[in-house]
Amino acid sequence: MQTKLSVNINKIATIRNARGGNTPNVELSAIDCERFGAHGITIHPRPDERHITTKDTYDLAKVVKTELNIEGYPDQRFMAMVAEIKPAQATLVPDPPHVLTSNAGWDTEKHLEELRNIITKIKSHGVRTSIFVDTELKNIEYAAKTGVDRIELYTGPYAEHFPINKEEAIAPYVKAAELARELGLEVNAGHDLSLENLAYFKKHIPFLAEVSIGHALISDALYFGLENTIQLYLKELA
């Protein structure tokens, strides 16, 4: 199956915020990503607004023509945005406001009832749901019990161990993805996926629905240009 590429544009906003003003333009960057072949746009509007702001979120909802994926911790602010904007997908991430980046998945057994209630509310708006999880099989099993549509596998450990032993790095992800599929869940993936490790990941999880890539892709665009970089990532997913 074709794996969709959702470009996380948080880093575009980070650069803009470093100087203020509107350069680079976040909305135009999203439009260009779509024009260059991206299947979707991902944003993570954190409460401190250190990159994507609340205003960005609403502005982007007006211009994104593919799929808008809003990810974040499901606090009152996040839930209000999802209810009002109705993005294509809402990805629930268990990170508190102070963390630098998402670096862990949900303990879905511990938060089962909480997640079940949140997902029910989000799905009532016609929004596809996804839960950010690690490869612990128990967390996959309990994710299925929440009623979620998809899981997003946290691929940080995969990226870290890939240069050392790619076979060992991918093994737990294959098991987790296969279990998710057996339980009726679609599989997304994200965090530190790059031109170096993406094709190998896709090869071993051919039914992968979507990858969300930001830091590596935007960094590569500094050297290769945004259009060429997106085409390079799409080629890795072919």
Which pLDDT belongs to residue 104?
75
**pLDDT one-digit tens code per residue, 128-154:** 999 999 999 999 999 999 999 999 999
Q: Cβ(194)–Cβ(236) under 8 Å?
A: no
**Catalytic residue check, 67:** no
Which pLDDT belongs to residue 99?
58
Q: C-alpha distances in angstroms, 109 versus 19, 113, 114, 145, 227?
A: 43, 9, 10, 9, 42
Residue 196 has pLDDT above 90, yes or no: yes
Mean pLDDT of the region 39-68: 97
Angstrom distance (rounded) from CA 91 to CA 73 = 9
- When pLDDT is cut at 50, 70 and 90, the band that residue 95 belongs to is confident
Cα dihedral 219→229→188→108 (10° resolution): 10
**Catalytic residue check, 191:** yes
Angstrom distance (rounded) from CA 39 to CA 67 = 7
Looking at 34, 67, 71, 236, which residue is catalytic? 71
The domain that holds 71 is classified in CATH as 3.20.20.70
Looking at 39, 51, 67, 191, which residue is catalytic? 191
Q: Output the pTM of the full model.
A: 0.95
The residues with which 152 forms a beta bridge, in sequence order, are 132, 188
Residue by residue, DSSP assigns 54-123 as HHHHHHHHHH--SEEEEEE--SHHHHHHHHHH--SEEEE----TT-SS------TTTTHHHHHHHHHHHH
- When pLDDT is cut at 50, 70 and 90, the band that residue 1 belongs to is confident
**Catalytic residue check, 39:** no
**pLDDT one-digit tens code per residue, 160-186:** 999 999 999 999 999 999 999 999 999
Q: Cβ(151)–Cβ(141) under 8 Å?
A: no
The residues with which 213 forms a beta bridge, in sequence order, are 7
Residue 96 has pLDDT above 80, yes or no: no
Mean pLDDT of the region 212-219: 98
Residue 51 structural domain: 4-237
The number of distinct structural domains making up the chain is: 1
Average pLDDT, whole number, for the chain?
96
Q: Position 183: which residue type? A: L
Looking at 44, 186, 210, 236, which residue is catalytic? 44
